[in-house]
Amino acid sequence: MSIEHEIEAVVAKAIVEAQGTGALPVFDLPDVTIERPRDMSFGDYATPTAMKLARLARMAPLKIAQAIVDHLELPDFLIEATVAPPGFINLRLAEAWLQQQVAVILDEGMDYGRFPRGAGQKAQIECVSANPTGPIHICRIRGGVMGDTLARAMKAAGYDVTLEYYYNDAGRQITILGESTQIRYQQLLGQDVALSDEHYQGEYITDIARELLAKYSDALLDKPASFFGDYAKEQISQSQKDSLGRINIVFDVYYNERSLYESGRLQEALATLEKRGYVYEKENAKWFKSTEFGDDKDRVLVKATGEPTYRMPDIAYHYHKAQRGFDIVVDIFGPDHHATAPQVLMGVEALGYDPSFVRTVLHQIVYLIRDGQQVKMSTRAGQFVTLDELVDEVGADPIRYFMISRSGNSPVEFDMDLALEKSDKNPVYYIQNAHVRCAGIFRKWAEAGFDPNADEGADLSLLTHEMELNFLRKALALTAVLEKIIVTSEPHHIAFYAYELAAAFHPVYEASRVLHSEVPEPLRLARLRFYRAAKQLFARVLDLMGMSAPEVM
């Protein structure tokens, strides 16, 4: 449990106690909220509960606050509770307990900040879900990083998380892919054929055709376009997986649309919708009465040609998600899917499920900036920067960081020049440098011939520097940050947290020296312990972001 929740419980208990002694009138307890005061001088935590209770209790907020404080049983981690106008209760952490966080961080290691919110719950996060027709667009990569980061937070909260990628491996797009590859293949063999505007123009198609030529020479000339489509699809899908792996995104499940047909789930979903009376025929097409769920017009499920629209498998897929028993499903959609997301939920509802287990997370576009200019991209026209190129150019860490460095509701400007910058201007370096600086201390310490584990059992009560304590206060906030990410489905909070943690660290590093000659020995060892914990914490936080924690840069 986060410390905030522990404090909530303590305050709630005090209110009940106060009601028991008659210091407060009896009323139903509303939620107690705990926050960090703006001004640190007020304390470490605060609650505005007394002000919220004023109406219920018909008392002055200050009096309520005082009554609560009078009945407060301070746990060992709190040293002081005070009342401040207009009715805040401010709470202060015990310094000795704070110092012990160093030991806790080292004890818990890569589990630091864990909490059991999701224990026993199955969660699914769906993201990227790009079709295997070309390199993944940078916007989808954003969704992927958001999804993976959210998955890491949810795992820290004990959820059993399935990271899932849904893709269309049948239908029109694959047909066009096959034709494009076939035409390139024929061209390589000197035939006079040309791509139409509809075909994929990218160089990667020619690469695949070249591969086929090398493997099979001209033996494929009589193969149908579908052969080329299947081959290209496999190649592209594999390279998508490889590319995503390079930025530490590994999906647990690749769910393909074709399986919805093969398993009969799509047909079943459609039949169920029909049975429930949400489907009608018009102009030879089957329409979904989405207006009954608030849509502004009904939508086609099955075209006049007999082919389902993309909407039908989407609904069937979510039908299956519901059947698979996930307690929480998170769908991450880019700007091109904002409008269709609600329709899927309407489908789920029409199928008889409460759609509230599905949370849709929307995000805005990504602009790629190079030399101060926006790089224009178009998949079909073959103009794009691929994920591989991006990784080659700036590395995985900046991609991971910048993709979650903004709220999903804001666009991301991915500045490749900034990503490469090796200075405090680049938040990626700024954060990782904190880890590097810690590593440097231990490297120097070992090089000087000292016992590398000399800090074991150090006296942590010597860590009295205000900046050290500030860093530990920040460390303590990790659980609350993770919880906020899960509650709001907004993974960007971890990026801001990491930066703030680094910003709390660097002043310590400047002020609280370890290896300098004038530092007394017990203090040196305590500080060494502190930096060991700091290093561990940065490794933990970087891992939560899917980033590396380098020893040197």
Which residues inside 469-508 make contact with RNA, applying CB under 7 A? 480-481, 483-484, 487-488, 490, 492-493, 496, 499, 503, 506-507
- The single residue among 354, 423, 451, 453 that binds RNA, judged by CB under 7 A, is 423
| Minimum CB distance to RNA, residue 84 (Å) | 4
| Minimum CB distance to RNA, residue 421 (Å) | 9
In sequence order, the 6+-apart residues with CB closer than 8 A to the CB of 116 are 1, 157, 158
Q: Does 309 bind RNA (CB under 7 A)?
A: yes
- The single residue among 444, 452, 461, 464 that binds RNA, judged by CB under 7 A, is 444
519: DSSP letter = S
Q: Write down the residue that tokens 């907020």 correspond to.
A: 61
| Minimum CB distance to RNA, residue 438 (Å) | 9
- The single residue among 137, 299, 474, 540 that binds RNA, judged by CB under 7 A, is 299
> Which of the residues 445 through 474 are near RNA (CB under 7 A)?
none
Rounded distance, CA 144 to CA 348, Å? 24
| Minimum CB distance to RNA, residue 508 (Å) | 8
Identify which range of 12-20, 222-230, 449-457, 516-524 contacts RNA by CB under 7 A: 516-524
Identify which range of 53-61, 137-145, 347-355, 369-377 contacts RNA by CB under 7 A: 53-61
Rounded to 5 degrees, φ, ψ at 368 are -95, 125
Judge whether 488 and 154 are in contact, CB under 8 Å: no
> Which of the residues 21 through 50 are near RNA (CB under 7 A)?
33, 35, 37-39, 42-43, 46, 48
In sequence order, the 6+-apart residues with CB closer than 8 A to the CB of 58 are 25
177: left (phi over 0), alpha (psi -120 to 50) or beta: alpha
- The single residue among 235, 379, 513, 543 that binds RNA, judged by CB under 7 A, is 513
- Partner residues linked to 299 by β-bridges: 288
Q: Write down the residue that tokens 């096959």 correspond to.
A: 178
449: DSSP letter = T
User: Between 383 and 409, whose beta carbon lies closer to RNA?
Assistant: 409
Q: Does 515 bind RNA (CB under 7 A)?
A: yes
Judge whether 490 and 496 are in contact, CB under 8 Å: no
Closest CA to 505 of 541, 481, 479: 541
Q: Does 175 bind RNA (CB under 7 A)?
A: no
> Which of the residues 250 through 279 are near RNA (CB under 7 A)?
257
> Which of the residues 355 through 414 are near RNA (CB under 7 A)?
362, 364-365, 406-407, 409-411, 413
Q: Does 422 bind RNA (CB under 7 A)?
A: yes
| Minimum CB distance to RNA, residue 1 (Å) | 13
Closest CA to 341 of 330, 352, 326: 330
Helix (H) / strand (E) containing 123: strand 122-126
Rounded to 5 degrees, φ, ψ at 118 are -100, 15
Q: Does 352 bind RNA (CB under 7 A)?
A: no
User: Between 42 and 213, whose beta carbon lies closer to RNA?
Assistant: 42
61: DSSP letter = H
